[in-house]
C-alpha cells in the first residue's frame, strides 16, 4: 500500500530549504519497506486539498489549504480530543477481544495509525533544522507540544508498506 510521508516545516523556512526525510530515520524505516520519491507539485496539492487530510486534523488543527499551513488548536482542546479518541480506540479493542478476534496487529495499528491513516510525518518544524519521522498517531499525540503553533506543509514523499 502506498501512502505519503509529509514533511512539516517551520513557517519561516523558505521552500528551497525544505527537507527530505533522512534515509536512516528509525520510524520511517520501521513503518515502510520503501520511501523516497517526491510527489509532484500537483500530487502534493491533491494531498493538501483531500478530504482525508482534513479528516486527519479534525478537532486537532485548522488546515489552511491556500497558505498550506496547519495551526494546532488550544492545548486543553487537543488533550480532550486526543483522550476521547484513545478511549474510543480502547473500547473498540475490548469489543474485538470479547469477540475473540483481537490480535497484536490490532494494537500495533491502533498505536501507529491515527484514525486509521498510514500517513507518516517528518517533523522539521523546530528551529534546529533537525527532522525526525513520526507515525500519524505520534504526530497527533505530540500536537499538544505545538498548541497554537502554525507549521508549513512541506515536501511530500511516496512510501510503501
For the chain, give every domain's residue range. 2-160
Give the pLDDT confidence score for residue 146 in this predicted structure: 94
User: What are the pLDDT digits (tens) for 74-91?
Assistant: 999 999 999 999 999 999
- Which class for 158: exposed (0-12), middle (13-18), buried (19 or more C-beta within 10 A)? middle
Pairing assessment for the beta strands 120-124 and 34-38 based on DSSP bridges: unpaired
User: What are the pLDDT digits (tens) for 103-153?
Assistant: 999 999 999 999 999 999 999 998 776 899 999 999 999 999 999 999 999
Q: How confident is the model at residue 1 (pLDDT cuts 50, 70, 90)?
A: confident
Amino acid at each position: 500500500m502506498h501512502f505519503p510521508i509529509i514533511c512539516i516545516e517551520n513557517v519561516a523556512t523558505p521552500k528551497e530549504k525544505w527537507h527530505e526525510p533522512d534515509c536512516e530515520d528509525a520510524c520511517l524505516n520501521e513503518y515502510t519497506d520503501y520511501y523516497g520519491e517526491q510527489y509532484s507539485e500537483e500530487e502534493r496539492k491533491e494531498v493538501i486539498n483531500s478530504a482525508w487530510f482534513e479528516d486527519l486534523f479534525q478537532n486537532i488543527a485548522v488546515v489552511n489549504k491556500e497558505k498550506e499551513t496547519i495551526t494546532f488548536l488550544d492545548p486543553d482542546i487537543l488533550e480532550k480530543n486526543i483522550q476521547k479518541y484513545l478511549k474510543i480506540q480502547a473500547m473498540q479493542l475490548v469489543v474485538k477481544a470479547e469477540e475473540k478476534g483481537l490480535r497484536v496487529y490490532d494494537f500495533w495499528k491502533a498505536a501507529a495509525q491515527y484514525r486509521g491513516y498510514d500517513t507518516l510525518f517528518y517533523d522539521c518544524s523546530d528551529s534546529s533544522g533537525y527532522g525526525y519521522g513520526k507515525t500519524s498517531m505520534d504526530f497527533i499525540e505530540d500536537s499538544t507540544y505545538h498548541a497554537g503553533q502554525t507549521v508549513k506543509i512541506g515536501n511530500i514523499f511516496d512510501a510503501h508498506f
